[in-house]
Chains A and B, each alone.
Chain A
Amino acid sequence: DIQMTQSPSSLSASVGDRVTITCRASQSIGSYLNWYQQKPGKAPKLLIYAASSLESGVPSRFSGSGSGTDFTLTITSLQPEDFATYSCQQSYSSPTFGPGTKVDIK
């Protein structure tokens, strides 16, 4: 299985901050990388697919980049509704998810 790691595991930020989360795969996965947002007690929501494509309806402050083994999710101006946990997922082979990054209020 391809292992996914994320950093940091958690971060504290303020409204308006720029936030960057990184995700690393244990082997090259091309651009087969997706990002999800999850709030407590709710199902994950797809934000970014194929490393950098913004899902319909997702605000443009979210962006994704990277290829191969290293990927980044960026939120350019954090909004109150963005406090959540963010997980990456590889879809190059049998899907695996990163452990998540919890973004909370500073």
Chain B
Amino acid sequence: QVQLVQSGAEVKKPGASVKVSCKASGYTFTDYGVSWVRQAPGQGLEWMGWISTYNGNTNIAQNLQGRVTMTADTSTNTVYMELQSLRSDDTALYYCARDYHKAQGAFDFWGQGTVVTVSS
């Protein structure tokens, strides 16, 4: 069965970086792109960007360009999202989500989420 398993919770200080992993199983990794979506406490969902697991191409949300790096390791079927220069408003639940093959831009499977807390 398809699974996306994310790394554990992180607590970081302002200005630091965080790297969250998302390990995929149950399907051919390179057949589906992966997006990262975050949700600040009590807020809606925010798409952060997308990576092609086939060739590593990325599309990062404009407001996060320069701070977010997404990579994919086909040897371990794992996608990574690194967020730099953390601020308090980066405190959120971070999800990875798989592209849905039936609908452009929809997401059919999601990771369990990783809490990132930014606090001094």
Contact = CB atoms under 8 A, between A and B. Distances in A.
Contacts of A1: 62
Contacts of B108: 46, 55
A87 B44 CA distance: 8
Interface in B40-91: 43-47, 59, 61-62
Contacts, number: 63
Contacts of A87: 44-45
A99 to B, nearest CB: 4
Interface string B80-120: 00000000000000010100101111111011110000000
**Interface size, B (range):** 20 to 34
B45 A91 contact: no
13 contacts: A32-B104, A44-B95, A50-B102, A50-B103, A53-B103, A55-B108, A87-B44, A91-B103, A92-B105, A94-B61, A95-B47, A99-B43, A100-B44
Interface of B: 35, 37, 43-47, 59, 61-62, 95, 97, 100, 102-108, 110-113
